[in-house]
Amino acid sequence: MKKHILMATTALAIGFAAPVAAQDDFAGFSEGILAMIGSQGATVSFDERNVGADGSVELVGFSMAAPDGEMTVRADWLKGVPSATTPGQVTFTLSPNASVTLNDPDSGEHIINISNSGLVITLDGITSGQSAPVLNFSVMADSLGFTSGNPADPIIKALDIEFTDLSQTVSLTTATMLLTGITGLSAVDMNYDINTPDDGQMASDSQMVDLSIAFQIVADDDEQNFFDYLSGTTTAFIELSAGASSATAKINNSDARIAYTGTSAGTEIVLRAENGYLNITEEVSNSQFSFSEFNVDGMPLPPFDVSLDQLRINFSTPTVDHGSFETANAEIALRNLVVSDSIYSMFDPEQNITRSPVNVVANLSANVQPSIDWANPEQAMMSGDPADIGAVQDITINEVLITAGGAEITATGSATIDNSMGFPFPTGKVTITAAGVQALVNGLVAMGVIPQAEAGMAMGMMMAFARPGENADEFISDIEFSPEGITANGVPLPM
């Protein structure tokens, strides 16, 4: 017959009294914890409690129900083994099969089955050892899965999530509250169909391989942490990378109806502040999506496909003065964005505009020397003097590319910066080449987007400050900056 553990003063005394003698007694400590849980109104039961010679505790036929009965956790067995070498460290294992039962007053009972192969959880500071300089938490599993649902269930119609080769470690440095961690997965498979009263239906069948997440932050809410990161006092980072992924998904609620399939070759996200340098990078490569339904706020679109080769955003810069000018870089790149003709045909059925891929690329670099006093950063931000933030020595346009509707605009150039005039003043040249612009403007006029008179004025202005290129419908303009002013092909620009 099952033994129910309820609130017991004796058990609490065993678990928490005599800290020097009893804190490393995991068997006594676990009894105290179970009694404390019972004292809060929860019901904990098990068929057997086996205490090993190594101080381990195994609960066979384990069950724990919340006080309100809305949730019950069950496992064939649950085992904790205290470390023989590290005070306060306990390693937990779980039976290959367990479950969580949710009882919702409105939708009834929902059972989530938990399966695992080789699941091992290790925690520091469980019994004693809370004063250790570093506390660690780790989870390892060959596989970890969550399944539930049936088509008749009003909420969870399907749920099948599988993690393969899970490896996670988290460490907390107690003196500084520095939290670091890394998670790795060789594969993630998710299939779910969930319908809630507030959010409507969310369904997906997706796969991803080679997922890695690493982070380091200070685990408190002190605003000074942000300035410590930028000043180089503390290193902080979040790094995510993932390999190929695919998904079939749909969203169905009062605001949107969306259904699509898609694939991506990889994703990378990096936010790192270290030693007075800041780097922010986000990149998605080789992605294709096919939307069979897209209706947001009552504005439906016909079925369409969209693909791109690359979406990349990068910003990197020194944030403190290291004694010299250093390279900063800013980049945004949207390469070879292709959209189905079904979208173009909504506003251009006569094909006045060429259906060419869209590219939006801007890559700029500069040599900069920051001057912000991170002990009082507000002073630099509010002074209105650019010198209080930093100095720029030169700027280089590595690449500018814009293509759309058959038109292409490119730009290259560089400039040196004079900081002695009270404000940064550039001296240099930027060459801009525009091709296919006349054809694009004519197409927009034919569509009625731009009136003919305004189109003529715009083209006239461009021709006034540009020279013809080697090809038809190509114009080139050299924009020069100097203390005497700004010119375009030698013609002064109005200031």
**Residue 305 CA: distances (Å) to CA of 296, 298, 308:** 17, 20, 11
Helix or strand run (H / E) with residue 224 = helix 224-231
**Residue 96 CA: distances (Å) to CA of 30, 103, 144:** 22, 23, 9
Helix, strand and coil content of the chain, in percent to the nearest 5, comes to 15, 55, 30
- CB count within 10 Å of CB 154 equals 13
**Is the separation of the CB atoms in 216 and 193 below 8 Å?**
no
Alpha-carbon gap, residue 245 to 262, rounded angstroms: 8
pLDDT exceeds 70 at position 456: yes
Single-letter residue type at 107: S
Which residue(s) pair with 368 in the sheet? Answer: 326, 392
pLDDT, position 150: 84
Q: What is the pTM of this model?
A: 0.87
pLDDT exceeds 60 at position 10: no
Give 495's pLDDT tier (boundaries 50, 70, 90).
Answer: low
pLDDT, position 4: 35
pLDDT, position 333: 98
pLDDT, position 413: 96
Alpha-carbon gap, residue 63 to 8, rounded angstroms: 18
Give 300's pLDDT tier (boundaries 50, 70, 90).
Answer: very high
**Is the separation of the CB atoms in 399 and 361 below 8 Å?**
yes
pLDDT, position 425: 84
Which of the listed ranges 80-89, 203-212, 435-444 does the model predict with the highest average pLDDT? Answer: 203-212
User: What is the distance of C-alpha 178 from the center of its chain?
Assistant: 21
**Is the separation of the CB atoms in 210 and 241 below 8 Å?**
yes
Q: What is the mean pLDDT of residues 121-141?
A: 90
Alpha-carbon gap, residue 57 to 410, rounded angstroms: 70
Tens digit of each residue's pLDDT (9 = 90 or more) over 168-197: 999 999 999 999 999 999 999 999 999 988
pLDDT, position 346: 92
pLDDT exceeds 60 at position 12: no
Q: What is the mean pLDDT of residues 337-351?
A: 93
Single-letter residue type at 216: Q
Which residue(s) pair with 296 in the sheet? Answer: 256, 299
Give 50's pLDDT tier (boundaries 50, 70, 90).
Answer: very high
Q: State the greatest distance between any 2 C-alpha atoms of the chain, in Å, as a whole number.
A: 97
pLDDT, position 24: 66
pLDDT, position 16: 34
Higher pLDDT, 221 or 148: 148
Q: What is the mean pLDDT of residues 303-321?
A: 98
pLDDT, position 421: 72
- In percent, the amount of the chain with pLDDT more than 90 equals 68
Higher pLDDT, 439 or 23: 439
DSSP states along 106-122: TTEEEEEEEEEES-EEE
pLDDT, position 153: 86
pLDDT exceeds 90 at position 380: no
pLDDT, position 463: 82
Q: What is the mean pLDDT of residues 322-343?
A: 97
pLDDT, position 224: 87
Round the average pLDDT of the chain to a whole number and report it. 90
pLDDT exceeds 50 at position 15: no
pLDDT, position 198: 85
Alpha-carbon gap, residue 488 to 451, rounded angstroms: 27
Q: How many helices (H) and strands (E) does the chain have?
A: 8, 28
